Amino acid sequence: MALVTVDQDLCDREGACIDSCPHSLLLRGPDGIPVTRAGAETLCIRCGQCVSICAKGALVNHFLEGQEFLEKAALNRGADPLTYAMKTRRSVRAFQARPVDKAVFKELFDVVRFAPSGNNAQKLWWIVTLEREGTRHLAELALQWMRRTYYPDSLDEVWTGDADPVLRGAPHLVLCCAPEDYRWAGTDSAIALTHLDLLAVSRGLGTCWSGIFLRALEGWPPLAEALNLPSGQRVFGGLMLGYPRHDYRLVPPRKPSAVDWR
């Protein structure tokens, strides 16, 4: 069965679905209509990004047929801004070129510093790339690791030109750091990054958790050398961050919460 069907009359050929796919399963066809690459059916993670971001409703993902997508416009942002942010927040993989002003970052971190930490230790600190060139350099170093260890040769087509499968062209990378021997570093970092994630979305920014970058950081010494962390310190999490290039029309389906009521 084909992974997706695209209505050629409705498709605007802007490529938002191509940009949003986590595994780059959609490619631009000769006429601009998205097509799936070989093996896409076995790699799709059913996240619903491709359907949700299609402004014209032209794309159907057959793995998600019959599941309920929510209309983003139907959600009441003013009645409950936090719920709105939590439901509509998406992993952004296509960013505008314009940078985020340093003053905006300062406002974000002035709030994020109130995130809870184990025993009120407050041991977290941050690295933020302010220049696009610096972010791109780190992505290129991580890509060296990916070429050697992570991606098979069959994905070479996603690396052509200025393609960035690591940080997706984000103008900024935000890394959360802590002492490597701090017991609650992983937990505190996840809490703080989640606070930052939702707060950034409420300010009109887009984010995506930088899992591939962190894997590269663990396995590629040139990348660790480029970060030049102080002795005894480690990166525990990170986000790509910038202004989204596309807006989402829908909220993709999710499984009901599994709760064991006691």
Give CA–CA dist 228/149, Å, rounded: 23
Q: Which pLDDT band, with edges at 50, 70 and 90, does 156 fall under?
A: low
Mean pLDDT of the chain: 93
Angle in degrees, CA 76, 77, 80, rounded to 5:
90
The whole model's pTM is what? 0.93
CATH code 3.40.109.10 region(s) in the chain: 95-242
Burial 11-50 (b: 16+ CB within 10 A, else e): beeebbbbbbbbebbbbeeeeeebbbbeebeebbeebbbb
Assess contact for 18 and 93: CB atoms under 8 A: no
Instruction: Domain 4-75: give its CATH architecture.
Output: 2-Layer Sandwich (3.30)
CATH code 3.30.70.20 region(s) in the chain: 4-75
CATH of domain 95-242: 3.40.109.10
Which of 135, 149, 165, 168 lies closest to 219, judged by CA? 149
Lowest mean pLDDT among 95-99, 152-156, 181-185, 219-223: 152-156
Whether the per-residue pLDDT at 151 is higher than 80: the answer is no
